[in-house]
Chains A and B, each alone.
Chain A
Amino acid sequence: MGEGEAQGAQKVDYAVRLRERRKLAWAVAVGFMSSALLMVFTLGVVTGALTTGAALAVAVAVITLFVAFMLMDIVWEGWGIQLFSVITVIIVMLLMLNIIFGRQVMP
């Protein structure tokens, strides 16, 4: 690290450094956890050990939300962002449910 960079680093508040390092460690952990889950589910389905269905759909949704909330920094933000995230999930679910249940049954 050069002199200038070292000075730049020193300017960062200790609490911020602690928080950023904690976030960094969590991101790496999320990477490993999500990768492992994806590999297990995929290999399970490919080998026939797991069957596709509602349980797998829920698992996919959970991993997606886990990745989104962790890697999009949402868990570390204030309640405003978290509230908007939840509203977005509700609206996405609303669209999906409408598409799934609003299907043509009559001519």
Chain B
Amino acid sequence: MAHRVLQIKRWLFTTNHKDVGILYLVTALYFFVIAGTLALLFRIQLSVPENDFLPAGKFNQAVTNHGLLMVFWFISPLGFAFANYFVPIQLGAKDMAFPRLNALSYWLLLFGGLLMLAGFFMPGGTADFGWTAYAPLNTETFTPNPGANLVAFGLLMLIASVTVGTVNFLVTIFQLRAKGYKMLGLPMFVWGIFFTVLMMLWAFPSLQAALTLLAVDRILGANIFTAPKGGIIWDHLFWFFGHPEVYIVLFPGLALALDLISVFSRRPLLGRKVIIGALAAAAALSFGVYAHHMFMTGVSLSYLKVHMFTTELISVPFGIITILAILSMIGGAIRLSTPMLFALGSIAVFIIGGFSGVFNSNPVLDIANRGSYWVVAHFHYVMVGAALFALFGGLYYWFPKMTGRMYNETLGKIHFIISFIGFNILYFPMFFLIDMPRRIYTYPEWTGWGPLNFIATVGAFIFGLSHLIMFANLLYSMKHGPRVDRNPWGAWSYEWMVESPPPEYNFEGIPVVQGNRLMVVMANGAKPHVELHEGNHLSPWPLLISLGPFLFLLGLGMWLGQVKFALPLIVVGAIISLYSVYGWFRDDFYERFKFEEPPEYKERWPFTSIHRVKLGMYFFLFGDAVFFAGLVGAYIFMRLEAGATLSGLVTHNILLGLLATLLMLWSAVFMYIAARGAKLGDKTLALAGLSLSTVLSLAYVVVTGLDWASVFAVGFTLADPAIATSATTALAHVLHLLAGLLVALYLTLKIWVRGFTGHVPETLDALAVYWGFLAAISVLVFGVTYVF
């Protein structure tokens, strides 16, 4: 009994990267089953003409949530399940750079998904506006379903999860590589994850800005996306995120497929550096191609031509990767084991998906194809076929490492054959349905679309049910599969050099790479740092700090939908949130949770002289800059386009605005001085700087509040989109500042009571960087929304 309780405690409170990876894996597969079931339901509806299996509203809800769950809660998290489990081991690290944040990232993802699913149980149902949530369809006017609010809240929790995870992976890859392990020597899977998190860093904040504006529209009754041409700003913010998201979903699988091809061909990848360069080029270009999703919106033709060119250009690096992957197999001793079959299947369908996409880069052809099942086939071949097949290959590939047992190879191959056939029966007919609009719940018989739709539905059932073979195979083999040694595939990356399953801290010593070989060295014959790590992998706060906002947002969503028992949920959620933040700080105050690898044994290029906390802060702020750019950009758009011509010079009290900006600026200067005081070991200077900075920040909040009160007092409201967008920007800035103030108060107390213990100087240094960022945003917001 006690053992069982300990097991439950382990899975709830774990911060170990391998446990977190398994939690990601189980959760991703859970959402896969739900999203897949939704797909089967709407495929039944479309299988024959004039079907009434699902009414229009339910059909739209099923399609919307299928898309969102598959993209955000299944394919990406499946890639990150493997990334969590294997990237630290492949780097020669004992865990992620921030283990608690890693667990937080998982719990935010899970509760975000549950929040989204809760939308189904709201009166009127959940979101039904498609995964792209085009404006103004996503507004209260056209989608009054209260469940849509829960979907937006769930996505915001997901973005929080992604932000935390992104920062963690970047710091881990940059600073926790084994000594002597150069970046170019990393496995392709790590490179794939590296470029994925880089795209996530700069892409997701744009969606965050869009959703924040949507929340202001839906909850506070603003008029941003219902304003004339207001829908275009949603398109910009959504697709600035949305197109890189395609590669965010694709890259982990694609990179893994390249590793699998290398391992199962017994050959090194041909043109490895070229492939890394091609991945980098594709990641960079992904931010400059997105307007091909907007060819039909009536935006300027010369602007579209630029995006047509860049879209055609982006096919080049993918072509290079595909050709090199195929050429790598020439002359190899190819073994067609299950992981290799899935890798080859992934490349095969990626070629079809990629070729079909090139046509859509041309505005003339795109106008014909837009919104048809051709497009549905194209993106499923890329996002499902290429990404998912490779990731399933990864599941089979790493199964022996995670469990220490081998799966049934015959069943694995049968799974591949059936799922590959089912996939193509499902999606290939859709290329022929080029004249059938997507997002329609039924169609008349005279269209002639019935037979192809019926074939696609049969394919959907074959594809969907084929995965039961995988589940049965893996679940049975977990307990009854034959035991395997460390490296059953003869692979070369470092996870295969540790036991199966790997021990808690991966390496019983210090991993060092010399001449591409990993060695684990002992210091003076001892096992260094093992003692330090014992028992430090448990913390309840990542779970609770996610549960609190989940309950709060669930209650808020229910309250907006006028559902009973909303208020208790809001109160309980708020209490848990506050208590868990307090608990996290308390643990840090007494330094109960210690986990740090000795930096002298780590490869840290190019960030050799910067602490991981400060580096993490920089990465967070690089992403946050895009969030504020989205909000300020929306304000500029409204001033230029939506008929809101009133300048901030008319609406605001300029002198109050100037005073607020100067207060914020000097608050940052004093925070910077406090950080210097900590570095100099001067307690008085640090405390004085912190105190003055805190006082000036609070004064900034008060003056900003007074200014906005004066704006609303003279009759301006959120119905004016320029006011709504600038007010949202100001609110976001103030909320950032209040969050920072919590940390400032904690640091003041800790320095006062305990002095510069633990990581206090580094944390204060990072906080000063944060304050500097907020001061810069304050200047930008004042310059754009007040002076112009």
Chain A residues close to B by CB (< 8 Å): 1, 4-5, 8-9, 11-12, 16-17, 20-21, 23-24, 27-28, 30-31, 34-35, 38-39, 41-42, 45-46, 52, 56-57, 59-61, 63-65, 67-68, 70-73, 77-81, 83-85, 87-88, 91-92, 94-96, 98-107
Report B349 CB to chain A, min CB distance, Å.
31
On whether the beta carbons of A63 and B669 are closer than 8 Å, the reply is no
- Contacts A28-B673, A95-B630, A105-B301 aside, 9 further interface pairs with beta carbons under 8 A come to A8-B683, A16-B680, A24-B673, A34-B665, A64-B777, A73-B765, A81-B610, A81-B618, A87-B622
A67 to B741, CA, bound (A): 20
Interfacial chain B residues near A91, Cβ < 8 Å:
202, 287, 626
B290-304 Cβ-contact flags toward A at 8 Å (1 or 0): 110010011111010
In the complex, which residue of chain A has the Cβ closest to the Cβ of B619?
A84
Q: Once the chains are docked, how many angstroms separate the CA of A23 from the CA of B169?
A: 30
- Asked if A96 and B291 make an inter-chain contact with CB atoms under 8 angstroms apart, the answer reads no
Q: Are B779 and A95 in contact (CB under 8 A)?
A: no
Would A64 and B636 count as touching, CB distance under 8 A?
Answer: no
Contact between chains at B769 and A72 (CB < 8 Å): yes
Are B626 and A95 in contact (CB-based, < 8 A)? yes
CB proximity of B269 to chain A, nearest CB, Å? 26
By the criterion CB–CB under 8 Å, are B607 and A78 in contact? yes
Q: Are A60 and B779 in contact (CB under 8 A)?
A: yes
- B666 proximity list for chain A (CB < 8 A): 31, 35
Asked if residues B676 and A95 are in contact (CB atoms below 8 Å), the reply is no
- Which one of A17, A72, A104 lies within 8 Å of B299 (CB-CB)? A104
Q: Does B166 contact A (CB under 8 A)?
A: no
Q: A31-B669, A38-B662, A102-B300 are in contact. Are A92 and B240 (CB under 8 A)?
A: no
CA distance A5 to B440 in the complex (A): 72
Chain A: CB-nearest residue to B683: A5
- Given A56-B788, A72-B769: A92 in contact with B626 (beta carbons within 8 A): yes
Instruction: Tell whether B524 is near chain A: CB-to-CB under 8 Å.
Output: no
Q: Determine if A88 and B680 form an interchain contact, defined as CB atoms under 8 angstroms apart.
A: no
Asked if A60 and B300 sit within 8 Å, CB to CB, the answer is: no
Q: A73-B768, A95-B626, A105-B300 are in contact. Are A68 and B240 (CB under 8 A)?
A: no
Residues of chain B having any CB pair with chain A under 8 Å: 174, 202, 206, 229, 232-233, 236, 240, 287-288, 290-291, 294, 297-301, 303, 606-610, 615, 618-619, 621-622, 625-626, 629-630, 632-634, 636-637, 640-641, 647, 649, 654-655, 658, 661-662, 665-666, 668-669, 672-673, 676, 679-684, 755-756, 765, 768-769, 771-773, 775-777, 779-780, 782-784, 787-788
Q: How far is the CA of A19 from the CA of B768 in the complex (A)?
A: 16
Shortest Cβ distance from B87 into chain A, in angstroms? 20
Say yes or no: B654 contacts A42, CB within 8 Å. yes
Q: Report 5 cross-chain contacts, Cβ distance below 8 Å, ordered by A residue.
A: A38-B782, A71-B668, A92-B625, A98-B291, A103-B640
B647 partner, pick from A38, A52, A73, beta carbons under 8 A: A52
**With the chains together, A35 CA to B696 CA distance in Å?**
15
Chain A residue, CB-CB nearest to B624: A88
In the complex, are the beta carbons of A67 and B618 less than 8 A apart? no
Residue numbers in B under 8 Å from A60 (CB-CB): 779-780, 783-784, 787
**Are B610 and A77 in contact, CB atoms less than 8 angstroms apart?**
yes
What is the bound-complex CA distance between A38 and B232, given in angstroms? Answer: 33
How many whole Å from B169's CB to the nearest CB in chain A?
15
Please measure, in the bound complex, the distance between the C-alpha atom of A73 and the C-alpha atom of B618, giving whole angstroms.
Answer: 10
The reply to whether A100 and B640 form a contact with Cβ atoms under 8 Å apart is: yes
- Assess the B779–A88 pair: CB atoms within 8 A: no
- Residues of A near B782 (CB, < 8 A) are 38
Report the nearest B residue to A22, measured CB to CB: B676
Contact indicator A78/B768 (Cβ below 8 Å) = no
Contact of B669 among A30, A95, A107 (CB under 8 A): A30
B303: which of A31, A46, A70, A102 is its contact (CB, 8 Å)?
Answer: A102
Q: Is the CB of A27 within 8 A of B669?
A: yes
B773 touches A39 (CB 8 A): no
Known contacts: A27-B672, A80-B607, A99-B233. The answer to whether A38 contacts B779 by CB under 8 A is yes
Neighbouring B residues of A84 by C-beta, 8 Å:
618-619, 622
A46: B residues at CB distance < 8 A = 649, 654-655
Nearest chain B CB to A64 CB, angstrom units: 4
User: Given A67-B775, A104-B229, are A78 and B608 also a contact pair (CB < 8 Å)?
Assistant: yes
User: Is A52's CB under 8 angstroms from B788's CB?
Assistant: yes
| Separation of A95 and B301 alpha carbons in the complex (Å) | 18
Q: Is the CB of B780 within 8 A of A64?
A: yes
Chain B positions within 8 Å of A88 at CB level: 202, 622, 625-626
Which A-chain residue is minimally distant from B766 (CB atoms)? A73
Chain B residues, CB < 8 A from A94: 287-288
Q: What is the CA–CA distance of A27 and B771 in the complex, to the nearest angstrom? A: 12
Taken together as a complex, chains A and B put the C-alpha atoms of A5 and B303 apart, in Å, by: 61
How far, in angstroms, from A17 to B622 measured CA to CA in the complex?
29
Task: Kindly provide the distance from the CB of B54 to the nearest chain A CB, expressed in whole angstroms.
Answer: 33
Contacts of A79 in B (CB 8 A): 606
A37 to B610, CA, bound (A): 32
Closest chain A CB from B281 CB (angstroms): 14
Residue of A nearest to B235 (CB): A102
Q: Please name the residue on chain B nearest to A16 by beta carbon.
A: B679
Question: Cβ of A80: which chain B residues have Cβ within 8 Å of it?
Answer: 174, 606-607, 610
Contacts of A27 in B (CB 8 A): 669, 672-673, 676
Question: In the complex, what distance in Å separates the CA atom of A82 from the CA atom of B662?
Answer: 26
On chain A, the residues within 8 Å of B662 by CB distance are 35, 38-39
Q: How far is the CA of A27 from the CA of B236 in the complex (A)?
A: 37
Decide if B236 touches A98 in the complex (CB within 8 Å): yes
Whether A78 and B610, one on each chain, are in contact in the complex, defined by CB atoms closer than 8 angstroms, is yes
For the complex formed, measure the closest distance between the CB of A57 and the CB atoms of chain B, giving whole angstroms: 7
Nearest to A45 among chain B residues (CB) is B787
Residues of B within 8 A of A20 (CB): 676, 679-680
In the bound complex, how far is the Cα of B768 from the Cα of A78, in angstroms?
17
| Smallest CB separation, A35 vs chain B (Å) | 5
CB distance from B640 to the nearest CB of A (A): 7
Given A28-B669, A88-B202, CB of A106 within 8 Å of CB of B607: no
Given A21-B676, A24-B673, A27-B672, answer yes or no on A104-B298 (Cβ-Cβ < 8 Å): yes
Q: Which residue of B lies closest to A39 (CB)?
A: B658
For B202, the chain A residues whose CB sits under 8 A away are 88, 91
Complex contact B680–A17 (CB within 8 A): yes
Q: How far is the CB of B47 from the nearest CB of chain A, in Å?
A: 36
Q: Tell whether, in the assembled complex, residue B299 and residue A105 are in contact, meaning their CB atoms are under 8 Å apart.
A: yes
Min Cβ gap A71→B in Å is 3
Q: Which residues of B contact A61 (CB under 8 A)?
A: 780, 783
User: Is the beta-carbon distance between B681 and A9 smaller than 8 angstroms?
Assistant: yes
Residues of A within 8 A of B780 (CB): 60-61, 64
In the complex, what residue of chain A is closest to B666 when comparing beta carbons?
Answer: A31
Complex A-B, nearest 6 residue pairs according to Cβ-Cβ distance, in ascending order? A60-B783, A71-B772, A80-B606, A106-B298, A68-B776, A8-B681
**Cβ contact within 8 Å between A72 and B772:** yes
In the complex, chain A residues whose CB is within 8 Å of the CB of B654: 42, 45-46
A94 CB to nearest B CB, Å: 6
Inter-chain contacts of A68 with B (CB < 8 A):
772-773, 776
A residues near B607, Cβ cutoff 8 Å:
78, 80-81
- Bound state CA distance, A77 and B622, in angstroms? 15
Report if A56-B787 is in contact (Cβ < 8 Å); known contacts: A31-B666, A99-B233: yes
Instruction: Give A46's nearest chain B residue, CB to CB.
Output: B654
> Nearest B residue to A52 by beta-carbon distance?
B788
User: Within the complex, what minimum Cβ distance (angstroms) separates A104 from chain B?
Assistant: 5
What separation, in Å, do the CA atoms of A100 and B626 have in the docked complex? Answer: 15
Least CB distance from B283 to A in Å reads: 11
Q: Which residue of A lies closest to B671 (CB)?
A: A71
Asked if A71 contacts B622 (CB within 8 A), the reply is no
